[in-house]
Chain A
């Protein structure tokens, strides 16, 4: 199975900050990488698919990049509603696997 590793596990940031989250795959996955946002008590929400494509309705302050084994999610200008846990997921091969999550907390 492909292992997905996210870093950091948590980050403290302020409103307006630029935040970059990293996800690494244990083997190349081309661009088959998605990012999700999850708030407590809610289902995850798709933000980015195929590494860099913004899902309809997601604010443009979210952006994704990378290919192969290293990927990033950047939030440019953190908003109060962005404090949540973010997960990456590889769709290159079954079983699909998720990273352990990065919690973005208020500083």
Chain B
């Protein structure tokens, strides 16, 4: 089974930075990690889901939701089977559980368990 394990969440002050990591494993029954787009999705406390960013399999294309453009950077290391989300200039409204996810082709077919990011003074 596919496993996506996030790490790096925590409490940070407004204006601060965090780097989230996602370690992937179990890509055994289909294509390898380096053939999948990877995604980050967030969910504010008690709210719905918000797609944040994605990155092409080879890292050559990246897309972001408007609210994080210029502040967040998605990246990946295919040799390490990992995806990352660098978050700078954090705001209170960025407080959420951040999920790493795999793009199954226009939808998300695997999700991590999530890591909580709290932005507060």
State in angstroms the CA–CA spacing of A96 and B39 once bound together: 10
A43 and B114 contact, CB distance less than 8 A: yes
Q: If the complex has contacts A43-B112, A55-B109, are A97 and B51 also in contact, measured as CB distance less than 8 A? A: yes
A94 and B54 contact, CB distance less than 8 A: yes
The smallest beta-carbon distance between B54 and chain A, in angstroms, is: 7
B107 and A94 contact, CB distance less than 8 A: no
The smallest beta-carbon distance between B73 and chain A, in angstroms, is: 16
Instruction: State the interface size on chain A (CB cutoff 8 A).
Output: 24
Q: Which of A87-103 contact B (CB under 8 A)?
A: 87, 89, 91-92, 94-101
The verdict on B111 contacting chain A, using a C-beta distance below 8 Å, is yes
The verdict on A83 contacting chain B, using a C-beta distance below 8 Å, is no
Q: If the complex has contacts A94-B63, A95-B63, are A101 and B106 also in contact, measured as CB distance less than 8 A? A: no
Q: If the complex has contacts A94-B63, A95-B63, are A46 and B109 also in contact, measured as CB distance less than 8 A? A: yes
Closest residue of B by beta carbon distance from A1: B66
